Structure 1
Amino acid sequence: MEALPRTSIVDVLEDRIREEILTGRRPAGSLLPPERTLAEGYGVTRTTLKHAFGRLVQAGLLETRHGVGTRVRDYERLGGADLLPMLVRHDARWLSEIFEVRRGVGALIAGAAANRAGGAARTRLRELVEAVRTAGDPDAVQLADAEVHRALARATGNRVYVLLTNTLFNAYLPMRRHLAGPFQDAEEAYGRLAPVVAAVEEGDGAAARAAAEAYLAATEEIMREGLKSR
């Protein structure tokens, strides 16, 4: 059995302030009231408030300067892709923008992998795509599929592609049960992905890009249909 999460007062306060920031009730650039005032307003101790502030600073939503105070960070102007997992959890509409990036970056990665992958990388891709076919249940199929894409990124030799792929999966995987439509049948999932790997093995960059575009479009359509039925 899966253990139930335990929620502390710091968790609750962090969620409250995050919601206020992401919904615009505390706009970017605004200076928060003094800690004593905020703590009294939320009905918490200043120690609890400091712990929540520390988490939100680490998340990239607040910035604290000695002698100035705590300000809401303009995360859309200054933030990085590491914010995506949090933003998707807050508002699923971010997924539409992730899908757009997924299509563009996925096709570029497949083409680069075809042009640059060495023998070991191609062998590993064959093994991983076969693992999609033999996965025992839809969740295992979905995770096996993700590993193929991580391997494609590594096969490019470009570490930025690897980090981008990791970031997109960090945003996607927490919601994967809502996006599991393309992975219900292992053989069908394999059939959609195998042409990408085959083109990479052949070293055909144009064919790999085209196969990736077809795969990404097909899986996105199925995922979107699944989201509509939620």
Structure 2
Amino acid sequence: MEALPRETIVDVLESRLREDILAGRHPAGSYLPPERQLAQGYGVTRTTLKHAFGRLAQAGLLETRHGVGTRVRDFARLGGADLLPMLVRHDARWVREVFEVRRSIGALIAERAAVRGTARQRAELTALLRAVRDAASPDAVQLADVEVHRALARATGNRVYVLLTNTLFNAYLPVRAALRGPFTDAEAAHRRLAPVVEAVGAGDREGAKAAADAYLRDTERIMLEGLS
């Protein structure tokens, strides 16, 4: 068993500030109140506030200019996909938009994998598909399924597809427990995914794309039903 993480005051303040920014209470482009005033308002020290600011700046939500102040960054215009996990935690409705991208990117990845995958990569996909069927719990099935998709991305030979796949999975990790519907039955999960792996293994470009689209739509429907 792992010990539960203990939140520090910096963790709590970071979370509060993040929610205030994402909810629009501190609008994009606006400057936060002076540090002393903000620290008093939240009941923390300025040192604690600076630590929280540092984390939020690293996350892409704030930017601090010496002698000017700390401004809320226009993350919707300037931010990257690395913000998605934070946005999903704030508002689960982002998951639907993540799934739309997952569907289009996933079908394209399967198509490319069918054309470019090597014999070794196709053998790896077959082995990873078996791991989905043999997984002992819904959580293990879900994680085994993820590994198949990572392998499909690698089989494209394009490292950007690999990073995009990682980004999309990371995006819905905050609500992963609510998205286990397609993975409660290992045999059923295997059946849904097998046509994708088989088409890629056969080098069937159009078949892989169609199978991936069907798989992604089916699992998306089940996951969104569980989320709602």
The TM-score range, normalised by the shorter chain, is over 0.9
Write out the 4+ residue segments of structure 1 that deviate beyond 6 Å after TM superposition. Answer: none
Which one-letter code corresponds to 1:167 in the other structure? T
Q: Deviations along 1:52-104, whole A, 9 cap, x unmatched? A: 00010011110112222110001111010011111111110000100100110
Which one-letter code corresponds to 1:175 in the other structure? V
Aligned residues: 228
Alignment-derived partner of residue 167 in structure 1: 167
Alignment-derived partner of residue 25 in structure 2: 25
Distance, in Å, in 2 between the alignment partners of 1:11 and 1:18 is: 10
User: 1:2: Cα distance to partner?
Assistant: 4.1
Alignment-derived partner of residue 193 in structure 1: 193
User: 1:161: Cα distance to partner?
Assistant: 0.5
| TM-score normalised over the length of structure 1 | 0.96
Which one-letter code corresponds to 2:99 in the other structure? F
Alignment-derived partner of residue 47 in structure 1: 47
Distance, in Å, in 2 between the alignment partners of 1:41 and 1:143 is: 43
User: 1:134: Cα distance to partner?
Assistant: 0.8
Q: Deviations along 1:207-229, whole A, 9 cap, x unmatched? A: 1000000000111111111122x
Alignment-derived partner of residue 224 in structure 1: 224
Alignment-derived partner of residue 91 in structure 2: 91
Distance, in Å, in 1 between the alignment partners of 2:33 and 2:219 is: 47
Which one-letter code corresponds to 1:152 in the other structure? L
User: 1:42: Cα distance to partner?
Assistant: 1.6
Distance, in Å, in 2 between the alignment partners of 1:2 and 1:88 is: 25
| TM-score normalised over the length of structure 2 | 0.97
Structure 2 residue runs without a partner (length 5+): none
Distance, in Å, in 1 between the alignment partners of 2:76 and 2:8 is: 29
Alignment-derived partner of residue 131 in structure 2: 131
Structure 1 vs Structure 2 CA RMSD = 1.0
Aligned pairs (5 A) from 1:40-119: 40-119=40-119
